[in-house]
């Protein structure tokens, strides 16, 4: 694994523009540039006052309130886009990202990419036509725990990943017959969080089926993967806010791996103490070194790995993107095509019923 470099240690950097001076960007995106080969040249927000604050705070040269003007005036290598939602709660990326691609600029953007799979397909058409690429920052594609779990899943001893169980708290509103839709679709902003993690570990979903408990909003989604693997996602809307947010467990044909609370990784392998059932005096294996492995960070040292920017893979996704731009390569992880799959899954959640829904 390559050690991290501080921004000023890079010999080459991409010249970047940034559209969106909002809260998430302030907390989790602009600060990643301290550890990435990114030279922030210009920032753009509809609110000029806010743009000026971000310009000063994060060291850009110029501000804009119109992104078209920014890409015309500045010589950029790439653009970061972190926008909010329109009045109907739909992401605004599909309205802006095609213009950036057409202008020959690769794009790093936040999730969710769009409200419908059709919108993602239209962005994909432009991406292909322009020869550029888009990274949609579904961060579980870059969490160190998910990366290492994937590495474990690929080990011969693990066997095939046959089953996954995920838990994540989201409240899904009931279908309202009178208005023929579901209101309160706020949950859709976040369904890509657990589903991108599941997608990364298990591959594409073939079919989904749902059972739900209303009015609590708890939902269980059953998953059949194209690989033949199976799984479920429990949207535990009424779990205690004090519990760790999420937990994922993949069962292989011989071993299993757990990601708990986003940062604890447990790999169950090895053998228990010998002896037939009821007669084994010790649970720890005869070879005590050949047993489960547990990883969690220490939070005492002034390291970078224990910052949330690294624990949640934000720096890693920005570095992956910036290095691809510098090397003139396309990305293979966290792509727009991955987001098309996630948006189709979101569409299935919108339709959900007791019947199996095929994910195209």
Ligand X SMILES: NC(=O)c1ccc[n+]([C@@H]2O[C@H](COP(=O)([O-])OP(=O)(O)OC[C@H]3O[C@@H](n4cnc5c(N)ncnc54)[C@H](O)[C@@H]3O)[C@@H](O)[C@H]2O)c1
Least Cβ distance, residue 6 to ligand X (angstroms)? 23
Using CA atoms, how far apart are residues 215 and 170, in angstroms rounded to an integer? 13
CA dist 181 → 176, 210, 217, 350, 351 (Å): 6, 17, 15, 9, 9
Beta bridge partners of 15: 39
CA neighbor of 322 nearest in space, from 334, 309, 331, 311: 331
Q: What angle do CA 58, 59, 65 make, to 5 degrees?
A: 80
Order the strands of the 14-19 sheet from edge to edge: 62-64, 38-44, 14-19, 78-81, 107-109, 134-136
Least Cβ distance, residue 280 to ligand X (angstroms)? 45
Q: x/- string (CB under 6 A) for ligand X, residues 147-186?
A: ----------------------------------------
Least Cβ distance, residue 29 to ligand X (angstroms)? 8
Order the strands of the 247-252 sheet from edge to edge: 293-295, 264-268, 256-260, 247-252, 161-168, 230-235, 218-225, 205-213, 357-358
Query: Which span (43-51, 155-163, 241-249, 282-290) binds ligand X, by CB under 6 A?
Result: 43-51
Closest CB to ligand X among residues 65, 271: 65
The answer to whether 145 and 259 have CB atoms below 8 angstroms apart is yes
Closest CB to ligand X among residues 79, 265: 79
In the complex, residue closest to ligand X by CB = 22
| Number of residues forming the site for ligand X (CB under 6 A) | 22
Phi/psi-derived region of residue 59, left when phi > 0, alpha when psi is between -120 and 50, beta in every other case? left
Beta bridge partners of 232: 165, 222
Residue from 74, 77, 110, 127 binding ligand X (CB under 6 A): 110
CA dist 273 → 19, 277, 279, 293 (Å): 58, 11, 10, 16
Structural tokens at position 4: 């991290």
- In whole angstroms, how large is the CA radius of gyration of the chain? 22
Query: Which span (39-47, 99-107, 125-133, 220-228) binds ligand X, by CB under 6 A?
Result: 39-47
Q: x/- string (CB under 6 A) for ligand X, residues 60-99?
A: -------x--------------xxx-------x---x---
Residues from 7 through 26 that contact ligand X (CB under 6 A): 19-25
Least Cβ distance, residue 258 to ligand X (angstroms)? 22
Closest CB to ligand X among residues 109, 221: 109
Closest CB to ligand X among residues 108, 133: 108
Q: Judged by CB under 6 A, does residue 189 bind ligand X? A: yes
Closest CB to ligand X among residues 23, 280: 23
Closest CB to ligand X among residues 4, 46: 46
Closest CB to ligand X among residues 67, 310: 67
Closest CB to ligand X among residues 139, 341: 139
Contact residues for ligand X, defined by CB under 6 A? 19-25, 44-47, 50, 67, 82-84, 92, 96, 110-111, 139, 189
């Amino acid at each position: 694994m390559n050690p991290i470099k501080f921004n000023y240690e890079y010999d080459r950097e991409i010249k970047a523009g940034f559209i969106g001076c909002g809260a998430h960007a302030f907390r989790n995106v602009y600060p990643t540039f301290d550890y990435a080969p990114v030279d922030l040249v210009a920032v753009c927000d509809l609110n000029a006052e806010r743009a000026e604050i971000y310009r000063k705070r994060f060291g850009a040269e110029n501000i804009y309130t119109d992104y078209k003007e920014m890409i015309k005036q500045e010589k950029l290598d790439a653009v970061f886009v972190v926008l909010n939602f329109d009045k109907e709660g739909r992401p605004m990326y599909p309205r802006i990202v095609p213009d950036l691609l057409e202008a020959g600029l690769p794009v790093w953007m936040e999730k969710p990419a769009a409200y419908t799979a059709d919108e993602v397909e239209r962005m994909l058409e432009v991406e292909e036509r322009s020869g550029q690429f888009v990274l949609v920052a579904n961060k579980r594609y870059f969490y160190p725990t998910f990366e290492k779990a994937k590495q474990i899943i690929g080990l011969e001893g693990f066997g095939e990943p046959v089953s996954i169980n995920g838990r994540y708290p989201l409240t899904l509103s009931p279908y309202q017959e009178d208005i023929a839709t579901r209101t309160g679709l706020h949950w859709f902003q976040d369904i890509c969080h657990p589903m991108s993690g599941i997608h990364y570990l298990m591959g594409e979903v073939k079919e989904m089926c749902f059972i739900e408990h209303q009015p609590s909003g708890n939902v269980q989604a059953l998953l059949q993967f194209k690989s033949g693997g199976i799984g479920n996602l429990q949207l535990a809307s009424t779990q205690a806010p004090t519990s760790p947010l999420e937990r994922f467990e993949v069962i292989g044909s011989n071993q299993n791996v757990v990601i708990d609370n986003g940062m604890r990784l447990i790999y169950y392998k090895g053998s228990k103490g010998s002896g037939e059932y009821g007669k084994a005096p010790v649970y720890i294996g005869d070879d005590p070194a050949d047993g489960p492995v547990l990883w969690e960070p220490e939070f005492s040292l002034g390291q970078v790995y224990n910052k949330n920017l690294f624990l949640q893979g934000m720096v890693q996704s920005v570095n992956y993107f910036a290095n691809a731009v510098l090397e003139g390569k396309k990305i293979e992880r966290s792509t727009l095509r991955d987001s098309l799959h996630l948006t189709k899954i979101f569409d299935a959640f919108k339709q959900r019923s007791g019947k199996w829904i095929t994910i195209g």
